[in-house]
Chains A and B, each alone.
Chain A
Amino acid sequence: MARSPRSDDERSAESGKRLAADGGSVSDADGRLSDLTSFFRERPRLRTLAIAGPPYGLLVFFFAIPLLAMLVVSFQTDQIGGAWTLGNYVDFLTSETYLTVVWRTFLLSVQVTAIVAGVGYALAYSIVRFSRRTTLLLLLVILPFWTSYIIRMYAWINILQSDGVLDSILNLVGLPALSLLYTETAVLIGFTYVWLPLAVLPFYASLTNLDADLIEASKDLGAGPIRTFLSVTLPMTINGVVTGVVLVFIPTFGSFITPRLLGGTNNVMIGMVIENQFKSAFNWPFGAAIGMVISVVVVALLVLATRLGGGLFGTGGETS
């Protein structure tokens, strides 16, 4: 069906119609919005500001500034607005009790991180390399992460306490009860439980991005699966590992719920000390000072992690 060539007049009439229709057929509200978009088209910087500004502002004002305010308060005497002092830090850093707590917290966090990294990596590796139902398995792994933290701890209280689930089962098979609740083991189990799903995500992501051909190439060139893992897979997923380690170590270091609920009084961690300053001792500046100590440890670790090449902030290390 050949159409006859259109005359130029026809054509300009048509493009005219298109222009008219743009303005005419849309509702007033749409028209105003269209005006708004063309207003911003002329002013790209204003447009960027309008879009990036509000979330930026909120995060600066309600997240970054409070952290800075905490720094200020930590230099005040035992109430906000009190006189300036280094006393909080001196008290903290000269108290053997507190330093013991910090050391214990550090050791516990290292253990938790090692366990979670080991188990999590093994899991992610097994899922990525050996399973076909990756999506379902990943879902099953991360789902528990989205339930309440406290509820998850509560489940472990029920399992670990004397005459709880674990002891009952041991009893049934004729083994002695363990009464693990309020021991360091209980704290380790609890942390492993809550952080495992979180750590699996970066491990999984980096393993998925690893080109499977590289592994086959390595085997083709004569390296066995263990050598291949150590010389190809692990080095190439180190960013994911570092990210996972950071995601586990830092929250563990600052945690108070797990040690409070599963560790009892024998396994005090530094987070519990802070909670105590705010919930029962009511010495906020001292709590702020401890918060700063934690932050210093955290920042040191982050710097270290960035050096090791963790792609933590999306665009990588150049952000800092």
Chain B
Amino acid sequence: MSLLRVSGLTKEFGDLTAVDDVSFDIEDGEFVSILGPSGSGKSTVLRMVAGFEEPTEGEISLDDVEIVGSPPFERDVNMVFQDLALFPHLTVAENIGYGLKQSGVPADERRERTERMLEMVRLEGYGDRAPAELSGGEQQRVALARALVNEPALVLFDEPLSSLDRKLRQHMQSELQRIQLETDTTFLYVTHDQEVALAVSDRLVVLDDGEIQQVGTVEELYEAPASRFVADFIGDVNAVEGRVTAVDDGTIGLDVGDGEVSVPRDAAVEELAVDDAVDVCIRPFLMRAEPAESDRDAVDDANETFSTTGVVRSRSYQGSDSLYGIETDRWGRLSAEVRSASFDVDDRVAIAWDAADVHVYRREGGAPPSEDGGA
């Protein structure tokens, strides 16, 4: 049985549909992130779970109990707010003890549990300070402690780490994972930052324009993105335009400019038909590149390899690998991630990748729209 079950959730603000028929489950003890660009409706989903917005349609159940319609203060969930919302007129300890006070926990037990929480988030001795006296990272910990101390069934996070610098954010990410394991609490984390989401979550819910694009583990999303959007949003991707020339049991034939390539049938998540316009997507790190002798001879038009030549236009150093921007002869600008120091700008290179590594999506606007998406 799932701890949180969201089904058919829809929220309309006037004419605008912020959240459109969203369904997903969260198991007890999971760390799930809702990932989406700003305006994708992810915060609205969170606010409906917390009780700050009423869904236009749909159900939310927590522990198999329907909670739509019950006010936020009666729900067994607590939230870590985007701007943290620490009470400025209360001390750190009073902030943390606030929820316990509301549920009538006696003062000494309150003190004890608050103390334990301060320890958990490594803020021993900070109880009597005002929130404003704390650094950004310390305030994050207080906000987290304030939610956790109530031992809610589910803790919600509304992008609380977005205001921190990269270093501190990474540190807080690992702290979050530690604390989640220690407290064995279920976390639902909303963010636009794929790096955070990939780092901390067991599973991801990718949301765009109010609709779910894909739900799955980090690996599933990265290795088998259900749509061009997901592929783009989670990690970098190159896209090559093509057209379907043949579909049979095991393979799909693609016309990609000049020459035809066969890709495995399961490279496409949708049913494709001959003449569909498609995007052929490939991760930069799956591309091979080597110096090109001359214009054409490095191009291997083997049926199961994509290959072209091009000129290196840019280079961005990323440690042992570098990302090279290559103006290709066949497909415009592509980026390839290969060993650093392989090439200089203006070098001619030959690049190639295997048909087995690509994902094929029907191009938006390139064919009649179909609604059989990934979710």
Mutual binders A and B: yes
Question: A residues near B, CB below 8 A?
Answer: 1-6, 8, 11-12, 14-15, 17-19, 21-22, 24-25, 41
Provide the residues of chain A in CB contact with B65, threshold 8 Å.
Answer: 12
**Bound Cα distance A178, B63 (Å):** 89
Contacts of A3 in B (CB 8 A): 182-184
Q: Contact check, A11 vs B63: say whether CB atoms are below 8 A apart.
A: yes
A2 touches B182 (CB 8 A): yes
Q: Which of B172-198 contact A (CB under 8 A)?
A: 181-184
Is B181 a contact partner of A5 (Cβ separation < 8 A)? no
Any A CB within 8 A of the CB of B153: yes
Known: A2-B181, A18-B74, A22-B103. 4 other contacts (CB 8 A): A5-B28, A15-B153, A22-B102, A22-B104
Q: Do A15 and B104 have beta carbons less than 8 Å apart?
A: no
Instruction: Give the distance in Å from the alpha carbon of A249 to the alpha carbon of B1 in the complex.
Output: 73
B29 interface residue per 8 A CB criterion: yes
Can you pick out 5 interface pairs between chain A and chain B where the beta carbons lie within 8 Å of each other? A11-B153, A14-B76, A15-B76, A17-B103, A18-B74
In the complex formed, the residue of A with least CB distance to B74 is A19
Q: A6 vs B63: C-alpha distance in the bound complex, in angstroms?
A: 12
B residues near A11, Cβ cutoff 8 Å: 63, 76, 153
Q: Is the CB of B76 within 8 A of A18?
A: yes
Given contacts A14-B151, A18-B103, A25-B104, contact A1 B76 (CB under 8 A): no
Contact partners of B74 in chain A: CB under 8 A: 18-19, 22
CB distance from A252 to the nearest CB of B (A): 43
CB contact between A5 and one of B71, B76, B104, B184 (< 8 Å): that residue: B184
When distances are taken between beta carbons in the complex, the residues of chain A under 8 Å from B104 are: 21-22, 24-25
Closest CB of chain B to A157's CB: distance in Å? 48
Please measure, in the bound complex, the distance between the C-alpha atom of A146 and the C-alpha atom of B181, giving whole angstroms.
61
Residue of B nearest to A11 (CB): B153
User: Assuming A11-B63, A11-B153, A15-B76, is B103 touching A21 (CB within 8 A)?
Assistant: yes
The CA-CA distance from A8 to B154 in the complex, in Å, is 13
Report the separation of the CA atoms of residues A8 and B1 in the bound assembly, to the nearest whole angstrom. Answer: 10
Q: Give B151's nearest chain A residue, CB to CB.
A: A14
Considering only CB atoms, which chain A residue lies closest to B64 in the complex?
Answer: A8
How far, in whole Å, are A18 and B104 apart by their CA atoms in the complex?
A: 8
How many angstroms between the C-alpha atoms of A117 and B126 in the bound complex? Answer: 52
Residues of chain B in range 143-182 having any CB-CB distance to chain A below 8 Å: 151, 153, 181-182
Q: A6 vs B104: C-alpha distance in the bound complex, in angstroms?
A: 21
Q: Which residue of A lies closest to B106 (CB)?
A: A25
- B103–A8 touching, CB < 8 Å: no
Complex interface: chain B residues within 8 A of A18 (CB): 74, 76, 102-103
Question: Hey, which chain B residues are within 8 Å of A12, CB to CB?
Answer: 63, 65
Interface size on B, as a range, is 10 to 19
Chain B neighbourhood of A41, CB < 8 A: 71
Which of A14, A18, A19, A22 has most chain B Cβ within 10 Å? A18
Within 8 A of A (CB), among B109-167: 120, 151, 153
CA A150 – CA B118 in complex, angstroms? 60
Q: Chain A residues near B1 (CB, 8 Å)?
A: 8
Which residues from chain B contact A21 at a C-beta distance below 8 Å?
102-104
Complex Cα–Cα for A17 and B181 (A): 25
Q: What residues of chain A lie closer than 8 Å to B28, measured between beta carbons?
A: 5
0/1 interface trace, chain B 68-111, chain A, CB 8 Å (1 if under): 00010110100000000000000000000000001110000000
Residues of A within 8 A of B181 (CB): 2
Most buried by B among A15, A17, A24: A15
Instruction: Give Cα A11–Cα B333 distance, bound, in whole angstroms.
Output: 55
Does A2 lie within 8 Å of B103, measured CB to CB?
no
Q: What CA separation (Å) do A22 and B74 show in the bound complex?
A: 9
Complex: A15 Cα to B74 Cα, angstroms? 8
Closest 7 CB pairs of A and B: A21-B104, A25-B104, A15-B76, A18-B103, A21-B103, A5-B184, A2-B182
The residues in B between 40 and 82 inclusive whose CB is less than 8 angstroms from any CB of A are 63, 65, 71, 73-74, 76
The docked-state distance in angstroms from the alpha carbon of A1 to that of B120 is 9
Question: Once bound together, how far apart are the Cα atoms of A318 and B354, in whole Å?
Answer: 64
Cα distance A197–B181 when bound, in Å? 61
Known: A22-B103, A25-B104. A8 touches B63 (CB 8 A): yes
Chain A residues in 8 Å Cβ range of B63 = 8, 11-12
Bound complex: CA A246 to CA B29 (Å): 64
Q: What is the distance, in angstroms, from A21's C-beta to the closest C-beta of chain B?
A: 3
Instruction: Evaluate contact between B153 and A5: CB separation under 8 angstroms.
Output: no
Distance between A174 CB and nearest chain B CB, rounded to angstroms: 60
Bound together, the chains give a CA A24 to CA B1 distance in angstroms of 32
Q: Is the CB of B182 within 8 A of A1?
A: yes
* Cα separation A38 to B73 with both chains bound (whole Å): 12
Shortest A51–chain B CB gap in Å is 20
Answer whether A5 and B103 are a contact pair too, CB < 8 Å, given A15-B76, A18-B76. no
Instruction: Give the complex CA separation of A22 and B101 in angstroms.
Output: 10
Given the contacts A14-B76, A14-B151, A18-B103, A5 and B29 also touching, CB distance less than 8 Å: yes
Tell me the bound Cα distance from A3 to B73 in angstroms. Answer: 25
Q: How far is the CB of A183 from chain B (nearest CB, A)?
A: 55
Per the bound structure, the CA–CA distance linking A185 and B102 in Å amounts to 66
- Do the beta carbons of B76 and A2 come within 8 Å of each other? no
**Given the complex of chains A and B, what is the CA–CA distance between A5 and B104 in angstroms?**
24
- Closest residue on chain A to residue B70 by CB atoms: A19
* Minimal Cβ-Cβ distance residue in A for B73: A22
Chain A positions within 8 Å of B102 at CB level: 18, 21-22
Of A2, A11, A21, A41, chain B has the most CB atoms within 10 Å of the CB of: A11
Looking across the interface, which residue of chain A has its beta carbon closest to that of B67? A15
Give Cα A24 to B103, complex, Å.
10
- Distance A252 CA – B120 CA, assembled complex (angstroms): 66
A264 to chain B, nearest CB (A): 55
Write the nearest CB–CB distance from B172 to chain A, whole angstroms. Answer: 20
CB distance from B218 to the nearest CB of A (A): 23
Q: Kindly state the separation between the CA atoms of A24 and B105 in the bound complex, as whole angstroms.
A: 12
User: From B71, which residue of chain A is reached at the shortest CB distance?
Assistant: A41
Closest chain A CB from B175 CB (angstroms): 15
Which of chain B's residues has its CB closest to A18's CB? Answer: B103
**Closest CB in chain B relative to A302 CB, distance in Å:** 35
Minimum C-beta distance from B123 to chain A (A): 16
> Chain B 303-341, CB within 8 Å of chain A: the 1/0 string?
000000000000000000000000000000000000000
